[in-house]
Chain A
Amino acid sequence: MSAGFTIDRRAFVQLATTFGLSLSVPCLAAKSSAALLTTDEWTLIGEVSELIIPTTDTGGALAAGVPDFVKMMLSDWFNESERENFVSGVHEFSAGALKKYGKNFGGLTASQKDQFFGELLATAEGGATAPRTPFVVLMKRLTIFGYYTSELGATTELRQQIATAKYQPAAVVKPGDRADSGLPGATYWFNAG
């Protein structure tokens, strides 16, 4: 559950107790995220996001504008240390692909890209300890959050009903029904650590 980025309204207060301890970290000036990564690296971000939430019968991460969301988060939301961790994670990821395949990530076949990313993610999610959150895990969090809070993700991939006028406490799920993306409470939570 430590990876979660949303919590119910009342439970938020408890997590906030912990969060409160880190609130005094001084904030550093935001950097333009475009300058943090090369054009090729931004392409890589887009490709990785599409591996996580691909185009199927609905649009995927690219169609939902996830790379722009990542840019915003990197420049305006992440703190300096989180940003450094992310950027060095991109470098490490690129270097890993080059080492394994002798090619840049962008030059791999679709199945090589999927396999390379999938193996790293499986290792990270398999309980491997790392001093900082690995790039592949951060990308998964960013992609899921960015996708399902986009208009495409919230209303086409999922269903959004903002004011239903009536409350149905035990509606029956029919085959093919999509989950409600919800109009959540005031607060989401994101762990960029």
Chain B
Amino acid sequence: MSSYDFDAIVIGSGISGGWAAKELTEKGLKVALLERGRSISPADYLGEHKPAWQFPFRQLGDRKRYERDYPIQSTCYAFGEPTEQFWVKDSEQPYGQDPAFPFRWIRGNHLGGKSLMWGRTTPRWGPVNFEENKRDGHGVDWPIRYEDIRPWYDHVEEFIGVSGQTEFDSPFAPVGRFQPGMLMNACETFVADSIRKKFPDRRLTIAPSAVLTRPLHGRAPCHYCGPCERGCSTGSYFSSISSTLPAAKATGNLTIITDSVVAGLDYDPKSRKVAGVRVIDQHTRAGKRYTARIVFVNASTLGSTQILLNSTSESFPNGIGNRSGVLGHYLMDHPYLTVSGVIPGMLDKYTIGNRPAGVWMPRFHNVEGQTSPFLRGFSYEASASRANWTDGVSMPGHGAALKQRLREYGPWSFGFYGFLECLPNRDNTLTLDKVRKDKWGMPILNTRFEWGPNDRALAKQMVSDATQMLKSAGATNISLPPEEMPPGGFGIHEMGTARMGRDPATSFLNGHNQSHEVANLFVTDGSCMPSVAAQNPSLTFMALTARAANYAVQQMKAGAI
């Protein structure tokens, strides 16, 4: 023990890295948590509760600076004047895109990572999601099944606090250990009822969401201010800062090391293990090396893959543990497409409070085996709200009459945001640039991503189903997404480039998120996923991380690592 700096090193402090740190420290390990960005505390939630007039650009943001420094990040819905401190400057940290097959890499490099700005919808995956790769042959078979992960879903939900409904138990969203769910508003309830009359198998409910409705571990229930991505001083939504890092710190076993960019992992061919982690100070660029008995890589799908690819040695010239050659292949994301309409009526109803959870509809295609002309399916997030003053520009006229109209609520509008299950494709890749390096001397990451024919077929079906459902609720002014699908990355559900599997020849990790080749190397962020299902993935990242961390500790205690 004494020859190592730490028992464990966790690289990355976002959703999965925070979980690795919590589990490992609670099991008694001395853990170093490496974060490439700066430290964050609730004092950094600069936009929280701040009204528009207190921002220099009234929440429009400094457009010219954004065009120069944030051309990619500013395309994310959660980016803006109240949140801009949480995003990577694209101008300072470039990556490559294939012009014909672009990929938008949305990044938050600071303590807590994207857990500060995430969307918080946390459905479980269902049994079918772990079986479908085997059934239809797309992607390698998952090395685990639902029953393997089920107790870890319980464990994670109870700790992070997930509010959700418990009446409808979908095979694609099993009911979990939920706090009471938030409430659907008048219009959402009406649309849900209308859909159910016409399509009995389609259920619109409040989404399971990592926002508290009951106090938990010193965190307060939601106060309904709305835009969680500005940060939450009451810790009401789950983030590493509100939840896992305080728990890890409380053990006394955690050392947080910020501003440390991981350049690569050193491999020792004698022990066949990771021998050390090389870091570069993000400001001084001074190099340093840390050692530990085990290493968890949780730097986000693209970040982790970049580190692993850049960890070359005589034994592994194409990246540590990459004997199979799959590292950097099979990049996936959820395309999401919006269909919305105006729902007449209910003009005497409105909402008080800004609810931070959406409603959603679990997948309803190919539920009992393969019954649709396409593979797999899609789910919807959705929400309804009443129009307000922002509709004023599309109303004719001016003067007192216009002012009076904008004083009153406008009609209800309802939006469906479809999330499609994208199939794994070997040609969707991450590679290291052979020439260009970032300011820390790391080769920059190049991306190449395209949607496949099944993804496109799902998109068409999703738009058509959403349109029919809106019509069943009497919607008018139905607005459809552009024909051309958005580039990959917009779902911010990037996954798959260091996938799990049963066969070391076709996968990077085994069923415990452990490298097939390097016994003390674990990867438990989105890069580990052999498929993406049609559910939001972060809860599954957390459950896999907790499961892997407990396995790693068992293996250490048994002397196997």
Contact = CB atoms under 8 A, between A and B. Distances in A.
Contact of B354 (A8, A155, A182): A182
Interface in B207-224: 223-224
Interface residues of A, number: 81
B128 interface: no
Contact of B349 (A18, A144, A171): A171
| Interface SS of chain B | loop
B351 interface: yes
Given A4-B393, A144-B389, A183-B226, A56 B336 contact: no
Interface stretch (A36-44, A92-100, A101-109, A173-181): A173-181
Given A10-B77, A19-B75, A179-B389, A186 B229 contact: yes
Contact of B79 (A79, A114, A154, A186): A186
Given A10-B338, A188-B58, A56 B186 contact: no
Contacts of A69: 58
B389 to A, nearest CB: 4
A134 interface: no
A148 B352 contact: no
Nearest to A20: B75
B196 interface: no
B473 to A, nearest CB: 16
Given A118-B398, A150-B53, A158-B389, A145 B58 contact: yes
Contacts, number: 253
B388 A179 contact: yes
B380 to A, nearest CB: 11
B488 to A, nearest CB: 12
Interface in B174-190: 182-186, 188-189
Interface residues of B, number: 87
A111 to B, nearest CB: 12
Interface string B224-240: 11110110000000000
A163 B383 contact: no
Contacts of B400: 54, 56
Contacts of A114: 399
Interface of B: 47, 49, 51-53, 56-64, 67-68, 71, 74-83, 182-186, 188-189, 223-227, 229-230, 336-338, 340, 347-355, 381, 383, 385-386, 388-394, 396-400, 402-404, 406-410, 415, 417, 479, 481-482, 484, 486-487, 490
